Amino acid sequence: MTRQIANGPVAMAAGRPIDSSVADAAADWLTLVMSDEVAEDTWEQLREWRKANPDHERAWAHIEAVTGRLSTKGGKAAYRALSPYADLGAIERRKLLSILFYAGAFGLTASLATRTQSWQRVMADYHTSTGEQRQVALSDGTQILLNTSSAIDVKFDGQLRLVRLLSGEIRVITGHGNPVSSDRLPPFVVETPEGRIRALGTRFSVSQREGETVVAVEQSAVEITPGERPDIRYRLNELQRTAFTRNRVGQGSALMDSELAWTHGQLIADEQSLGDFLADLSRYRPGLIRCDPLVAGLRFSGVFPLNDTDAILNTLPTVIPVAVRMRTRYWVVVEAAGQGRPPIQKA
């Protein structure tokens, strides 16, 4: 059985679970075949993707049910019917199509969280797409770096400077306004579903994960309060990191360089297993990355630039005994070397 590297909620189709990475890949295919620049061989690549796994076929069957049986002649018309928002960019159109896919393809209970997150990203004050990073300067001088697939809302008033992390990961360098002014700025707080992080004149990062928030402090300190335990005021000091839920805060531990590598546009593996590395890499690359369980446990070290995920995949066979195949832009397989298949090629 092939191990699937994926993150996020599991969607339901035909009474059986479909991993969110498969659903996302199907949404990518939907966007691709409905675009005005669909290549002639795209349909053949889509057929290959559908045949590669029963879940792929089931996901696409639901898409066909929603869009009225896509075909090579009807794709553009369906695209115009599904996405009348001509003024939106490609990223926003893809997100709207993804929302339509989840809404029509899967049951309400399973898709509610995914659709809510998708709408939050589309409607957020600031957001990034898969593989994108964005630097934002706030009115008080605070600098926020959004990592891949991240979204924030910002609300400043006289009592609080509040940043809501809706999804993904951010790095915050708090601003202090005009240093010669006698006016004191209100507290700076990052809020997540698990609680609040109050800056104490600091530089720190916050990552939203399933059921928990991870905080890493580079400079000074922060104060963490879980959402269901307002009596807790946990101080996390410089060069420490921790994770917290709605009712507890974990003990702080030493901050590793690899945890902040993304802020420098890097992905660092420090004796990391291939399976875990590909799980990290998949956050920066649209589509699906599959890892053969025979090689998932291989460990290696290296520093990789995030601006070219194809280059990272091409580098892997020079570091460990694996072969990398790219069947389409959205479908990558990493397996043991020497299985007689060609190396990665750009689709």
- pLDDT, tens digit, for every residue of 10-23? 344 444 556 666 77
**CA torsion sign, 149 to 166 to 15 to 95?**
negative
Q: Is 179 left (phi over 0), alpha (psi -120 to 50) or beta?
A: alpha
Angle between helices 108-123 and 90-105 (to 10 degrees): 160
For the chain, the maximum distance between any two Cα atoms, rounded to a whole number of angstroms, is: 71
DSSP 65-95: HHHTS--TTTHHHHHHHH---TTS-HHHHHH
- CATH 2.60.120.1440 for domain 134-259, yes or no, is yes
Report the distance separating Cα 118 and Cα 114, nearest Å. 6
Tokens of 204: 């720190």
pLDDT tens digits, 250-281:
999 999 988 999 999 999 999 999 999 999 99
Q: How far is CA 262 from CA 38, 76, 170, 313, in A?
A: 33, 37, 10, 17
pLDDT tens digits, 125-168:
999 888 999 999 999 999 999 999 899 999 999 899 999 999 99
> Quick one: pLDDT band at residue 72, thresholds 50, 70, 90?
very low
Task: Determine contact, residues 53/39, Cβ cutoff 8 Å.
Answer: no
User: ∠116-262-309 over CA atoms, to 5°?
Assistant: 85
> Quick one: pLDDT band at residue 43, thresholds 50, 70, 90?
confident
> pLDDT over 90 for what percent of the chain?
51
> Quick one: pLDDT band at residue 180, thresholds 50, 70, 90?
very low
Mean pLDDT score across all residues of the chain: 78
Q: Any idea which of 25-34, 234-243, 246-255 has the lowest mean pLDDT? A: 25-34
Q: How far is CA 292 from CA 3, 298, 311, in A?
A: 6, 11, 20
pLDDT of 103 > 60? The answer is no
pLDDT of 322 > 90? The answer is yes
> Quick one: pLDDT band at residue 184, thresholds 50, 70, 90?
confident
The pLDDT value recorded for residue 328 is 74
- CATH 3.20.20.70 for domain 265-336, yes or no, is no
**pTM over the 0.75 mark:** no
Tokens of 249: 């805060």
Cβ-based burial of 83 (10 A; exposed 0-12, middle 13-18, buried ≥19):
middle
Report the distance separating Cα 331 and Cα 249, nearest Å. 38
